[in-house]
Amino acid sequence: MARTWGLSIDEKERLDLERVVMDDDEAGALEFLKCAIYPKIKESEKPGSCFHDVNKAVEDLPRSVSRHKKIGSFD
C-alpha cells in the first residue's frame, strides 16, 4: 500500500517552482528538486523525524503537536 506524505514549501520555493514551470526550465527544475524538495524528503526518513504520514491521526504521535518541527524546518 502506498503512503501519502505532506510536504510544505515556503513562498520563495513556491515562486521558484512557478518560475521553472512557466519557463519550462529543465535544469532549474532539477536544481529545485535537489535543493528544495529532496532535503525535506531525506529529513522525513530519519528515525524520530517529526514528519509523519498525513493519513495517520495526530493523536497517535509520540509527542504533542506543539513539540513537532514545522514541516520544512531543519532546526
Q: Cell 509527542 belongs to which residue?
A: 63
7 near 37, Cβ under 8 Å?
yes
Q: Which residue has the higher pLDDT, 57 or 3?
A: 3
Q: What is the pLDDT of residues 8-60, one digit of tens each?
A: 889 999 999 999 999 999 999 999 999 999 988 888 777 766 555 555 555 55
Q: Report the first-to-last Cα separation within the chain, whole angstroms.
A: 31
Over residues 57-68, the pLDDT tens digits come to 555 555 555 544
Q: Which three cell numbers stand for residue 70?
A: 514545522
Residue 7 is predicted with a pLDDT of 80
